């Protein structure tokens, strides 16, 4: 077994162990539909041997929308606008997974933003509103409908975005979740919304259609995130989860631990959540994917051969070098990405998705 051997995730066979982690390109149309440029970005990855491409997070309902030019999973037409993109990715032997998200208290429309409890996402913004139980049930059905659309429109799987402080992860975190009802109290109760979502999604799609989750290994702000994870993951396995991608951090975590951690990676450095993956891997029966800080082919090889994880996932290195995985088949030179985080700037300023260093933009 090595980084270029296939792996099966439920009914899907992925040709190698490389994943493009979900990356919001902000290249959809204002309505959240596919654009030519977005299609080109995703297909370019498939042409270059990426085994499994996870789309940028797609909002499952209008109130869960995170930003302008974000892609939508909130209507059949929006998801179906990616059919040509999906077909082209398949032509090159790649698989494509739709990441489903609700931005919770961080949603773009602050006036209608909801969360597990009320909190202020940013200075100067009004607090989000605590969700009622019927709003929770509605959000669950939005995830399920979005997953059904993904399967109908040819996607190979879905990934529930339960990381980074968006709605599903807000419920999991005692920092955001101060509810007095059965959606809080202990880790199992905080996972209730995620469990309900997974059950509804699983029921909405075919039994062999892969359903995955991206979840935080650490929040770096509230206690017990990793301690609760084996229990949450066991609950998700029981409910039919097919794979987990381990990530970490919330928007309120200390800057050195942010999801998109600044600072170049030295050879032989562990990936951000490698220690946690190693432990979790011994407890789970489904494939474990690790994202964050992977910049060397040797690092990826080591993680797979030492059974730290089953797949490795990359984001920033593929913004800089969409051809990286094809290149690594021949040439093990490290990824050019130095984690300077300037790739975030185009998203914030509305400029095009790119690596500003490669494109010499200042």
For residue 322, how far is the Cα from the chain centroid? 18
- Closest approach, Cβ 147 to ligand FMN, in A, equals 16
3-state secondary structure (DSSP) of residue 245: strand
- Closest approach, Cβ 192 to ligand FMN, in A, equals 22
Closer to ligand FMN by CB, 304 or 314: give it. 314
- Closest approach, Cβ 16 to ligand FMN, in A, equals 17
- Closest approach, Cβ 180 to ligand FMN, in A, equals 30
Closer to ligand FMN by CB, 21 or 197: give it. 21
Cα–Cα distance measured from residue 97 to residue 159, given in angstroms and rounded to the nearest whole number: 7
For 245, counting Cβ atoms within 10 Å of its Cβ (0-12 exposed, 13-18 middle, 19+ buried), the class is buried
Closer to ligand FMN by CB, 130 or 346: give it. 346
Closer to ligand FMN by CB, 99 or 197: give it. 99
Closer to ligand FMN by CB, 51 or 179: give it. 51
For 54, counting Cβ atoms within 10 Å of its Cβ (0-12 exposed, 13-18 middle, 19+ buried), the class is buried
- Please report, as ranges, the residues that interact with ligand FMN according to CB under 6 A: 21-24, 56-57, 99, 161, 163-164, 214, 247, 259-260, 291-294, 314-317, 343-344, 347
- Closest approach, Cβ 211 to ligand FMN, in A, equals 16
Give Rg (Cα) of the chain. Answer: 19
Q: Half-sphere exposure of residue 4, counting CA atoms within 13 Å on the CB side? A: 9
In sequence order, what E strands does 219-322 have?
Answer: 243-248, 288-291, 311-314
Residue 162's DSSP bridge partners are 215
């Amino acid at each position: 077994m090595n980084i270029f051997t296939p792996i099966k995730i439920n009914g899907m066979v992925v040709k190698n162990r490389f994943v493009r982690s979900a990356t919001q390109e902000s290249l959809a149309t204002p309505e959240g539909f596919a654009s030519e440029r977005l299609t080109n970005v995703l297909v370019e990855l498939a042409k270059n041997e990426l085994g499994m491409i996870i789309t940028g997070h797609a909002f499952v309902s209008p109130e869960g929308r995170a930003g302008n030019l974000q892609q939508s999973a909130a209507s059949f037409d929006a998801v179906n606008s990616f059919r040509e993109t999906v077909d082209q990715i398949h032509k090159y032997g790649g698989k494509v997974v739709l990441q489903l998200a609700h931005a919770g208290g961080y949603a773009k429309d602050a006036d209608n933003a909801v969360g597990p409890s009320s909190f202020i996402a940013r200075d100067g913004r009004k607090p989000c509103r605590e969700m009622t139980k019927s709003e929770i049930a509605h959000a669950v059905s939005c995830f399920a409908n979005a997953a059904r659309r993904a399967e109908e429109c040819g996607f190979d799987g879905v990934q529930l975005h339960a990381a980074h402080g968006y709605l599903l992860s807000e419920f999991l975190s005692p920092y955001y979740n101060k509810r007095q009802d059965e959606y809080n109290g202990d880790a199992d109760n905080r996972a209730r919304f995620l469990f309900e979502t997974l059950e509804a999604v699983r029921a909405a799609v075919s039994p062999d259609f892969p359903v995955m989750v991206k979840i935080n290994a650490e929040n770096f702000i509230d206690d017990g995130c990793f301690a609760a994870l084996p229990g949450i993951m066991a609950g998700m396995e029981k409910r039919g989860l097919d794979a987990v991608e381990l990530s970490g951090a919330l928007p309120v975590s200390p800057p050195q631990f942010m999801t998109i951690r600044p600072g170049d990676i030295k050879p032989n450095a562990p990936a951000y959540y490698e220690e946690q993956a190693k432990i979790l891997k011994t407890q789970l029966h489904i494939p474990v994917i690790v994202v964050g800080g992977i910049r060397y082919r040797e690092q990826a090889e080591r993680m797979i051969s030492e059974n730290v994880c089953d797949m490795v996932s990359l984001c920033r290195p593929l913004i800089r070098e969409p051809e990286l995985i094809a290149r690594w088949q021949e040439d093990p030179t490290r990824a050019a990405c130095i984690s300077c985080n300037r790739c975030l700037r185009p998203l914030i300023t509305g400029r095009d998705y790119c690596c500003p260093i490669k494109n010499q933009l200042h």
